């Protein structure tokens, strides 16, 4: 369990708080507008109405005691930049800031952000990839790697992982199998592919994208 500060409770900040709480974390939510906090008051550890561009406000939170501080302000980049910078100056151990453009990310990283996220861009990219390829059900990127949820190729069905020489042929690995609402992690080499299942596969982007184009 971690102690997490979330500043800016718009759509992204609200869903972030909900998911953080679901995962067992202590969350303090902060926004200038009371109405933005109403939906999460009952689930977060604490909620405060405050202007976080003021250094004395951030200082009063004891930001150095939070494991992670999120800056989720999407409509006022100047405020996001100021808050990010002040959090680091006040000793916040790890700051994750939201950006909508690359130029914003550069400034945020220069001014103290340890990590920058692009929620709108990432969702759009994920959806575009999902609808552009046949039989792709989910997709995400992890550094230089891509993870896809796909349907097996017809040529794999009825054959084992070993028989398809999957790892050597595609330079990818199978993380798991999903079928009828159940999941199996890291299937062994003798596992036989079925037509009605989904595969969770991972590989370097250049290799995995070649495979996806065959679907």
For residue range 39-64, what is the model confidence (pLDDT) as tens digits? 999 999 999 999 999 999 999 999 99
pTM reported for the whole predicted model: 0.70
CB 49 within 8 A of CB 21: no
Instruction: Indicate whether 143 and 95 sit together in one domain.
Output: no
Residue after which a domain boundary falls, among 63, 89, 117: 117
Instruction: Indicate whether 104 and 201 sit together in one domain.
Output: no
Instruction: Indicate whether 142 and 40 sit together in one domain.
Output: no
Instruction: Indicate whether 108 and 130 sit together in one domain.
Output: no
Instruction: Indicate whether 148 and 113 sit together in one domain.
Output: no
End-to-end distance of the chain based on CA atoms, in angstroms? 40
Instruction: Indicate whether 9 and 113 sit together in one domain.
Output: yes
CATH number at residue 65: 3.40.50.720
pLDDT, one tens digit per residue, over 105-164 is: 999 999 999 999 988 877 777 777 777 777 888 888 887 899 999 999 999 999 999 999
Residue after which a domain boundary falls, among 117, 151, 185: 117
Instruction: Indicate whether 102 and 8 sit together in one domain.
Output: yes
Structure confidence at residue 119 (pLDDT): 85
Percent of the chain with pLDDT over 70: 100
Helix (H, G, I), strand (E, B) or coil at 50: coil
Statement: residue 15 has pLDDT above 90? yes
Question: Which domain, by its residues, includes 150?
Answer: 122-212
CATH number at residue 190: 3.30.70.1450
Average pLDDT for 185-199: 95
133-138's contacts with Cβ under 8 Å and 24+ in sequence apart are 133/212, 133/213, 133/215, 134/215, 135/215, 136/212, 136/215, 137/198
Structure tokens at 8: 């800016």
Q: What does the alpha-carbon distance between residue 138 and residue 149 come to, in Å, rounded to a whole number?
A: 5
Q: How far is CA 92 from CA 3, 51, 155, in A?
A: 12, 17, 53
Tally of domains in the chain: 2
């Amino acid at each position: 369990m971690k102690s997490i500060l979330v500043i800016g409770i718009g759509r992204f900040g609200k869903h972030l708080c909900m998911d953080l709480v679901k995962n067992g974390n202590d969350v303090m939510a902060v926004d200038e507008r009371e109405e933005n906090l109403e939906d999460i008051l009952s689930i977060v550890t604490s909620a405060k109405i405050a202007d976080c561009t003021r250094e004395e406000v951030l200082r009063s939170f004891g930001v150095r005691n939070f494991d992670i501080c999120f800056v989720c302000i999407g409509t006022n980049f100047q405020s996001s930049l100021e808050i990010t910078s002040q959090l680091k100056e006040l000793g916040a151990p790890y700051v994750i800031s939201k950006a909508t453009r690359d130029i914003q990310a550069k400034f945020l990283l220069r001014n103290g952000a340890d990590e920058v996220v692009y929620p709108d861009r990432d969702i759009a990219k994920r959806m575009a990839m999902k609808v552009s390829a046949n039989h792709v059900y989910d997709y995400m990127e992890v550094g230089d790697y891509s993870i896809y949820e796909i349907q097996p190729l017809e040529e794999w069905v009825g054959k084992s992982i070993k028989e398809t020489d999957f790892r050597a042929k595609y330079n990818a690995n199978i993380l798991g199998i999903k079928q009828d609402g159940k999941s199996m992690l890291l299937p062994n080499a003798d596992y036989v592919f079925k037509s009605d299942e989904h595969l969770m596969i991972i590989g370097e982007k250049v290799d995995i994208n070649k495979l996806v184009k065959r679907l």
